[in-house]
Amino acid sequence: MPSDEGVFCKYCLTFKAVPFVKGDINLNCTKFFALVFFTVISVFFASCSKDGIELSETADSTPDKLPPVPVECSDPNALTFDDDDFSFAKVINDDRESAEGELSVVEVQGNKMLKFSDDMTVPLKGKVQKISINSAKILGTERLPDVRRIEFDLYADATAPDYVNQDGNSMQVPGTINFGGGTVVALTDSKGKGKWYDFAEHEGGEYDFEMSGAVHGVFKFLLAESGMCWSEDMDDANFLIMRWGSENESNLYIDNIVFYDADGNSIPVR
């Protein structure tokens, strides 16, 4: 039955003198919370409208990704090609998959480095770019036995817009950069020939810009104690840098070659 009792709603924290019917408490609470909810949401969206513009402006003002820059090497014994000399390097094309081209010293953003200009006559699939570096000419034969590690920076630049990214867009970028290398060591086989030693493989890549940043290579003589290293009588001691698995036509660059001994000290070059 209806009643004129005052009703205290413990949820609404109000006292109302209203006609009472069972269920009215829940109904009045529902209306109250609906009103509160609508008010809060209105205030939220009103306050967010300005914030939303600020967020959008912040996103729009975020600087675009910057192109990579060449790495500077501070080691005094680094071979940096600043003197334009590359007489100790040559292109190796000993099979049909070896890239053809020529070497030169070029300046990239103020930094000189060795460039292998690929003439693109060898098909991209299966192609390997190879550069041989004569260490004996760089160090002198007397320092060859001391070498335990070689480090350098490798770059690539795209010459065609043929890399297809995940969105299906064609881009002029190098894509994945895989490389490794090896050398003939002092230890000989049963025929008296120096054994071939493979260095570790490395991987990098550039998917936004035409010229990549540096991919750092580290070649180690891990088995030097067993004779898998160079000796003083190897006047043609050299190591090979090989890049394979190219995803786009591109040239190859080498810079900052440093030789290290067993104690981690860099070895002076001639």
42 and 115 in a single domain? The answer is no
Residue 247 falls inside a structural domain: yes
56 and 98 in a single domain? The answer is no
Residue 160 falls inside a structural domain: yes
Residue 240 falls inside a structural domain: yes
Spatial distance between the Cα atoms of 270 and 253, rounded to a whole number of angstroms? 22
145 and 248 in a single domain? The answer is yes
Boundary (domain end) residue, out of 46, 61, 76? 61
pLDDT of residue 206: 97
Q: Which of 105, 90, 98, 200 is nearest to 150 (CA)?
A: 200
57 and 112 in a single domain? The answer is no
Residue 16 pLDDT > 70: no
CATH number of domain containing 211: 2.60.120
pLDDT of residue 199: 98
222 and 98 in a single domain? The answer is yes
Residue 241 falls inside a structural domain: yes
- The percentage of the chain sitting over the pLDDT mark of 90, rounded to a whole number, equals 76
95 and 206 in a single domain? The answer is yes
pLDDT of residue 64: 82
97 and 167 in a single domain? The answer is yes
pLDDT of residue 69: 96
User: What residues make up the domain containing 220?
Assistant: 89-260
Residue 267 falls inside a structural domain: no
State the residue for tokens 């390097």: 89
Residue 94 falls inside a structural domain: yes
pLDDT of residue 90: 98
Half-sphere exposure of 5 (CA within 13 A, CB side): 11
118 and 169 in a single domain? The answer is yes
Burial class of residue 241 (count of CB atoms within 10 Å of its CB; 0-12, 13-18, 19+): buried
Digit-coded pLDDT (tens) for 160-193: 999 999 999 999 999 999 999 999 999 999 999 9
Spatial distance between the Cα atoms of 99 and 88, rounded to a whole number of angstroms? 19
Residue 253 falls inside a structural domain: yes
Digit-coded pLDDT (tens) for 76-113: 999 999 999 999 999 999 999 999 999 999 999 999 99
Please give the tally of structural domains in the chain: 2
Digit-coded pLDDT (tens) for 32-54: 445 444 444 444 444 444 344 33
Split at pLDDT 50, 70, 90, the class of 3 is very low
177 and 245 in a single domain? The answer is yes
Residue 2 pLDDT > 70: no
Give the residue-averaged pLDDT of 201-225: 97
pLDDT of residue 63: 59
pTM of the model: 0.76
Residue 4 pLDDT > 70: no
26 and 116 in a single domain? The answer is no
pLDDT of residue 138: 98
Boundary (domain end) residue, out of 61, 79, 103? 61
- Please give the radius of gyration of the chain, using alpha carbons only, rounded to the nearest integer: 34
109 and 54 in a single domain? The answer is no
Residue 138 falls inside a structural domain: yes
230 and 112 in a single domain? The answer is yes
